[in-house]
Amino acid sequence: MTEYCVKAQNVQKAFGANKVLTDVSFDVASGSVTTIIGPSGSGKTTLLRALNALDVPDAGVIQVGEIEIDFSEPVAKDTLRRYRAQSGFVFQGHNLFPHKTVLENVTEGPVVAQKKPRAQAETEAVQLLEKVGLADKKDQYPFQLSGGQQQRVGIARALALRPKVVLFDEPTSALDPELVGEVLSVIRDLAVEGWTLVIVTHEIQFARQVSDQVLFTDRGVILEKGPPAEVLEHPTQDRTRQFLDRILNPL
């Protein structure tokens, strides 16, 4: 029997008159990789942020890890806090604290939010920095790192919270092309290790290689979902075919 880490049912989100998500539903199996693809403005990032309640949905039911919330009803702050703690978020633009060292960035969440002893948090942080290949940079500041290195610190920071699922918002879109590979390599390693990952990406070949499930979104709706061989190679929707043809066969 499949165990699910994320379940989303009829999720809706609007910003004013702009309806960004319309009755979005999908599940993410524990230990699997789900990638979300689609054109700009299709609701990909809003969907990801809804899973962490960075953008609180207007309606719908989402379960992440052990916490389920019906967003059509008022949500208590403590419930929202416990819900957010189920996931780690890797931002497109790194979002590191510029005045803190690499080590301090990674330990901030465990020490402040989870009240973990600093010595324990630092030991675990160094192990995570080793995982992303940056243990030798632990005493440096973000401005001393390349964009790819900063993003890898962002990944280590998300993992430090030991979340049920790690959410990636286009983790390579802000990077120079030569730095993309080092970040994708780290994500591939996490997939092999069995972390549950949900990734918004425009890297179609990467999605083909690492995904267990691909979601194609357009205008706030999931038009297709399934294994990468189905969605990316044999799409059933004209809109999906048009998008993939434009991405894979640019002029």
111, 100 in Cβ contact below 8 A? no
pTM: 0.95
Residue 58 has pLDDT above 90, yes or no: yes
In the chain, the amino acid numbered 59 is A
CATH number for 4-86+163-248 (one of 3.30.429.10, 3.60.40.10, 3.40.50.300, 3.40.50.1820): it is: 3.40.50.300
pLDDT digits (tens, 9 = 90+) for 89-116: 999 887 899 999 999 999 999 999 889 9
pLDDT one-digit tens code per residue, 3-53: 999 999 999 999 999 999 999 999 999 999 999 999 998 999 999 999 999
The predicted-structure confidence for 132-187, as pLDDT tens digits, reads as follows: 999 999 999 999 999 999 999 999 999 999 999 999 999 988 888 888 889 999 99
For the chain, domain boundaries = 4-86+163-248, 94-162
- pLDDT number for residue 19: 94
pLDDT category at 2 given cuts 50, 70, 90 is confident
Whether the pLDDT of residue 78 is over 80: the answer is yes
